[in-house]
């Protein structure tokens, strides 16, 4: 844990503007520029680099998932390349301050209601994308892996550096959070199939969420998204948490209910 914890930067005093909220509702995502300040980003990067240097558990290796581009096993070359530092909330006070940051909380309440909960079972991690041995993540909707009565959750993706097409920024299909898909459009691992013409026509609408340090991408749990591997020589870091409304409790006995949650005031 960090020993010094200066107050989180306050670059925005309120929640989303009307146009930002309307953009989210129509397209299933919105980018809030420079929501996190330089000091916040710096503290998170310091904690992240320490976690990577010492492989501080819990971690997820690229080889664990074996997505395209990842090493085949932990004993192969690059096999210990870390994909995620899990349980970000417990890694430093900067992460706790971030999920309770008033402008962020205000923005989320505009989308999810007056009482917020942060499920620690999903996301709650630092995503790392290394120059070598990083992988491609296929098209998917997060809600297909989660268990909640209502498919109404929002994830916040904080860039700790530049994110672009070259280093594997997130890609999204605008408006896909409002669409209904058939089971055959997904494979057995719940990835949206890119070999079907009906899916390909939709994926032609893809947008790239290019971000700078401190920018935040908010996206709906039904929004289709994907990412390529990192083709640059610099590691990319992103912090990701998910939120729900207080009334949308996880299904008892599911993986979504297996971890504690944070009530956000």
Judge whether 71 lies within some domain: yes
Query: Bigger pLDDT: 3 or 219?
Result: 219
Residue 142: which of 209, 89, 190 has the closest Cα?
Answer: 190
Structural domains counted in the chain: 1
Tokens of 164: 């672009």
pTM of the model: 0.94
Residue with tokens 């890119």: 194
Q: For residues 52 and 230, give the distance between their C-alpha atoms in angstroms, rounded to a whole number.
A: 17
Judge whether 8 lies within some domain: no
Judge whether 10 lies within some domain: no
pLDDT tens column, 200-244: 999 999 999 999 999 999 999 999 999 999 999 999 999 999 999
Query: What is the arithmetic mean of pLDDT over 73-89?
Result: 96
pLDDT at 3 over 90: no
Judge whether 3 lies within some domain: no
- Which residues on neighbouring strands pair with residue 129, listed in sequence order? 236
Q: For residues 259 and 176, give the distance between their C-alpha atoms in angstroms, rounded to a whole number.
A: 29
H helix and E strand count, the chain: 6, 13
The number of residues making up the chain comes to 265
Judge whether 4 lies within some domain: no
pLDDT score of 9: 54
Q: For residues 102 and 265, give the distance between their C-alpha atoms in angstroms, rounded to a whole number.
A: 9
Domain harbouring 236, CATH code: 2.60.120.620
Contact predicate 86/125, CB 8 Å:
yes
Task: Give the helix ranges, DSSP H, for 168-225.
Answer: 197-203
Tokens of 235: 């590691």
Contact predicate 134/252, CB 8 Å:
no
Q: For residues 1 and 94, give the distance between their C-alpha atoms in angstroms, rounded to a whole number.
A: 9
Judge whether 2 lies within some domain: no
pLDDT score of 14: 80
pLDDT at 4 over 80: no
pLDDT score of 265: 84
- Domain hosting 247: range is 18-264
Query: What is the arithmetic mean of pLDDT over 75-103?
Result: 96
pLDDT at 13 over 70: no
Judge whether 131 lies within some domain: yes
Tokens of 247: 């009334």
Contact predicate 163/170, CB 8 Å:
yes
Q: For residues 210 and 162, give the distance between their C-alpha atoms in angstroms, rounded to a whole number.
A: 8
pLDDT tens column, 36-72: 999 999 999 999 999 999 999 999 999 999 999 999 9
Judge whether 9 lies within some domain: no
Cα of 215 vs its chain's centroid, Å? 13
Those residues whose C-beta lies under 8 Å from the C-beta of residue 120, and which sit 6 or more positions away, are 87, 89, 259, 260, 261, 262
How sure is the predictor about 8, in pLDDT bands with cuts at 50, 70 and 90? Answer: very low
Those residues whose C-beta lies under 8 Å from the C-beta of residue 71, and which sit 6 or more positions away, are 62, 63, 77, 78, 79, 81, 133
Query: For residue 228, what are the CA distances in angstroms to 69, 117, 135?
Result: 9, 30, 7
């Amino acid at each position: 844990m960090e020993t010094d914890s200066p107050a989180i930067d306050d670059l925005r005093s309120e929640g989303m503007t009307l146009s930002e909220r309307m953009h989210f509702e129509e397209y299933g995502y919105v980018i809030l520029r420079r929501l996190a300040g330089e000091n916040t980003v710096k503290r998170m990067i310091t904690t992240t680099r320490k976690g990577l240097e010492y492989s501080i558990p819990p971690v997820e290796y690229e080889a664990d998932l074996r997505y395209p581009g990842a090493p085949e096993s932990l004993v192969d070359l690059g096999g210990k390349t870390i994909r995620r530092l899990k349980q970000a909330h417990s890694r430093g006070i900067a992460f706790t301050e971030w999920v309770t940051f008033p402008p962020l909380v205000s923005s989320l309440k505009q989308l999810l209601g007056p009482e917020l909960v942060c499920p620690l079972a999903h996301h709650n991690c630092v995503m790392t994308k290394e120059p070598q041995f990083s992988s491609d993540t296929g098209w998917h909707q997060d809600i297909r892996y989660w268990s909640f009565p209502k498919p109404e959750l929002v994830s916040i993706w904080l860039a700790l550096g530049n994110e672009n097409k070259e280093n594997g920024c997130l890609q999204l299909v605008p408006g896909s959070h409002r669409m209904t898909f058939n089971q055959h459009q997904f494979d057995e691992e719940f990835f949206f199939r890119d070999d079907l013409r009906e899916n390909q026509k939709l994926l032609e609408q893809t947008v790239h969420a290019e971000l700078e340090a401190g920018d935040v991408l908010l996206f709906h749990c039904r929004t289709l998204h994907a990412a390529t591997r990192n083709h640059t020589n610099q590691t990319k870091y992103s912090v990701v948490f998910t939120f729900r409304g207080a009334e949308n409790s996880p299904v008892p006995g599911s993986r979504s209910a297996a971890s504690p949650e944070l009530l956000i005031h």
